[in-house]
Amino acid sequence: MKAYKEPLYNIKGQPVCEICHVGYDKLLKHVNSRHSISANEYKERFGYHPRKGIVSQKLHAQMRSNALKNYNKVIMGNLIIGGNNNRFKEGNQMSDLEKLSELNRNRMKQKWNNIRNEKQQSKDDVLSDLIKKLSVLPKT
């Protein structure tokens, strides 16, 4: 697992730009407009996590507060609306995932049965060869 660098913050709690060494609330917006570098390029060049934003601590707290305040109105609403397509509907026998799991389970059973049969055949072959060899030997 790759270790990513954490941004440096100034006294005001703003992340500092690695290029011009000035702090900004929305660092990636600054980098794009001032230095003409995309957020992904900047993160890659300076070793930041590719899926995390880089904003000031104050702005981060404000965005978190807004998200929690609007959770029931917006986020839960989106989950309920978005979940309509994925819900179990009357008459459905099983989900695609369950069908796939059942298919894989059957394939694995067949594979293990084949392996078991092959082992049994090889045991039988060894025994029959041994019996033939013993029957050919002269009796003493």
Helices (H), 10-83: 27-35, 39-46, 57-69, 76-83
pLDDT confidence tier of residue 131, bands split at 50, 70 and 90: confident
Percentage of the chain beyond pLDDT 90 is: 43
Question: Could you tell me the CA-to-CA distances from 32 to 37, 38, 81 in Å, in that order?
Answer: 5, 5, 34
Segments making up each domain of the chain, as ranges: 1-63, 95-140
Whole-number pLDDT of residue 36: 94
> Which of 1-10, 56-65, 96-105 is least confident?
96-105
Work out the number of other CB atoms within 10 angstroms of the CB of residue 55.
Answer: 21
Strand-pairing partners, residue 64, are none
Whole-number pLDDT of residue 67: 85
The arithmetic mean of pLDDT across residues 77-97, rounded, is 68
Instruction: Please check the confidence at residue 13 and state whether its pLDDT lies above 90.
Output: yes
Cα 132 to chain centroid, rounded: 58
Percentage of the chain beyond pLDDT 70 is: 84
CA–CA dist 12, 22 (Å, integer) = 11
Please give, one letter per residue, the 3-state secondary structure of 109-121: HHHHHHHHHHHHH
Q: 């305040």: which residue's tokens?
A: 69
Q: 């041994």: which residue's tokens?
A: 130
Classified by CATH at the fold level, domain 1-63 comes out as Arc Repressor Mutant, subunit A (1.10.10)
SS3 call for 84: helix
